[in-house]
Amino acid sequence: MRRPPQGVALLGSTGSIGRSAPRVLARHPDRFRVAALTAHSNAEELAAQVAALHPDYIGLVSDGYAVHPGWHVGTESIVEAATLPEVDVVINAIVGAAGLRATLAALEAGKRVALANKESLVVAGTLAESAAARGGGEIVPVDSEHSAILQCIGSRPVTEVRRLIITASGGPFRTWPLERLREAQREDALNHPTWSMGPKITVDSATLVNKALEVIEAHFLFGLPFDRIDVVVHPQSIVHSMVEFVDGSVVAQLGVPTMELPILYALTHPERIGDDGVSPFDPVASSPLTFEPVRHDAFPALALGVEAGRRGGAAPAVFNAANEQAVALFLAGAINFHDISSAIASALSALHAAPGDDLEALLAADAAARQHVKDLFAC
């Protein structure tokens, strides 16, 4: 019997992931239909998407924009969109901790969350686990490294996994000497060598904060302790990650660097469906594939984030919020590149005793970390 198409809510539809997802969905109209779209403030782009995709529900978080009749305005709209009865899958492509409430609500409502918004798991991984257990929802990662790990593990139990090896492109500053790094400008940080992404994650890739967020994300998704999650630099971004099993065998997942592949897999997992939207993989053209250690002296934020993950409680929320605030200041031209990791270190040490028992405490830690960073630079 033919199944009706699954309803998809696309949160953050005007962003980099948000604009890639409709291309994937459009190739499978028999499987998926867009039930809801939300954006923060880009009403123009949202209106164009509405005209093309005909969603039932349209949400715009920010007021003060030209809102069309029937649109829902305000922060509540993302939670409403994520929990509509006609929605089966929520693609959470919101940037930052702002995506957290929608992730929790969707899990509680029993939805599949195709999660690009890694910050949700970093800020409140334990709460996401309990929301999923209560409501019957599940997270399937969109992040390419975690999609790779999921595919490598397949149906094997986690007890057979010895170690996860997460690959990192190394970002635009991979080879920059320390002295040159001090002069790094906004434009340099936004010039990513292999991936085209939104500005926040592009800066996170330059500092390696993104890899710290991904280590914490992997810890929650796959249930491995931090000392069994390693990071290796792989500048070509072809090997998306690797899993070492207890017998010493290593399984890797490879592919051209496009987010369309992990987006599709997050929608269909564990099934694979025919799709010819992505150019075929050519191993010879992708050669050579190289691997390097992380330069921890140049990119201290990675170790800071992993340590915050180990500490648990509110520490990952403080790490994330301090980074979000520092990146916003860096993008506004108010601070230097190396100030980002210093600001994170300062917030983590000032707020080391912040409680992280429930959502309220985590949101308070998030707000305190943002304020700490603003005060640090007198902004």
Helices (H) and strands (E) in the chain, counts: 16, 11
Q: What amino acid is encoded at 43 in this protein?
A: A
- Shortest CB 324 distance to ligand NDP, Å: 10
Cα 140 from Cα 55, distance rounded (Å): 23
103 belongs to the binding site for ligand NDP (CB under 6 A) = no
Given a contact cutoff of 8 angstroms between Cβ atoms, the answer to whether 31 and 5 are in contact is: yes
The answer to whether the Cα torsion of 119, 246, 147, 166 is positive or negative is positive
Token duo for residue 224: 């491995």
Instruction: Look at residue 258 and give the partner it binds from Mg ion, ligand NDP, none, a contact being a CB closer than 5 to 8 Å depending on partner kind.
Output: none
Q: Using the rule CB under 6 A, which residue among 31, 42, 286, 334 binds ligand NDP?
A: 42
**Alpha-helix residue ranges (DSSP H) falling in 186-336:** 186-189, 199-207, 209-222, 260-268, 283-286, 301-311, 315-331
Q: Which is nearer to Mg ion, 144 or 325 (CB)?
A: 144
Q: Quick one: which segment of 81-89, 193-201, 298-306, 363-371 binds ligand NDP (CB under 6 A)?
A: 193-201
- Shortest CB 120 distance to ligand NDP, Å: 8
Given a contact cutoff of 8 angstroms between Cβ atoms, the answer to whether 242 and 152 are in contact is: yes
- Shortest CB 59 distance to Mg ion, Å: 26
Contact characters 160-189, ligand NDP, x per CB under 6 A: ------------------------------
16 belongs to the binding site for ligand NDP (CB under 6 A) = yes
197 belongs to the binding site for ligand NDP (CB under 6 A) = yes
Instruction: Look at residue 101 and give the partner it binds from ligand NDP, Mg ion, none, a contact being a CB closer than 5 to 8 Å depending on partner kind.
Output: none
Among 374, 375, 362, which residue's Cα sits nearest to residue 121?
A: 362
Pairing of strands 250-254, 6-11: unpaired
DSSP 47-104: HHHHHHH--SEEEESSSSS-PPTT-EESTHHHHHHHH-TT-SEEEE---SGGGHHHHH
Q: Quick one: which segment of 87-95, 127-135, 136-144, 346-354 binds Mg ion (CB under 5 A)?
A: 136-144
Cα 234 from Cα 290, distance rounded (Å): 6
Q: Using the rule CB under 6 A, which residue among 37, 94, 113, 261 binds ligand NDP?
A: 94
95 belongs to the binding site for ligand NDP (CB under 6 A) = yes
Residues numbered 265 to 324 that lie near ligand NDP (CB under 6 A) are none
Given a contact cutoff of 8 angstroms between Cβ atoms, the answer to whether 319 and 208 are in contact is: no
For residue 364, count CB atoms less than 10 angstroms from its CB and return exposed for 0-12, middle for 13-18, buried for 19 or more. Answer: middle
Q: Which is nearer to Mg ion, 146 or 370 (CB)?
A: 146
For residue 118, count CB atoms less than 10 angstroms from its CB and return exposed for 0-12, middle for 13-18, buried for 19 or more. Answer: buried
Torsion of CA 23, 27, 33, 39, to 10 degrees: 0
Instruction: Look at residue 98 and give the partner it binds from ligand NDP, Mg ion, none, a contact being a CB closer than 5 to 8 Å depending on partner kind.
Output: ligand NDP
Q: Quick one: which segment of 33-41, 125-133, 167-175, 319-327 binds ligand NDP (CB under 6 A)?
A: 33-41
12 belongs to the binding site for ligand NDP (CB under 6 A) = yes
143 belongs to the binding site for Mg ion (CB under 5 A) = yes
118 belongs to the binding site for ligand NDP (CB under 6 A) = yes
Residues numbered 14 to 33 that lie near Mg ion (CB under 5 A) are none
- Shortest CB 30 distance to ligand NDP, Å: 26
Applying CB under 6 A, the residues found at the interface with ligand NDP are 12-18, 39-42, 61, 78, 93-95, 98, 116-119, 143, 195, 197-198, 200-201, 259
Applying CB under 5 A, the residues found at the interface with Mg ion are 143, 145
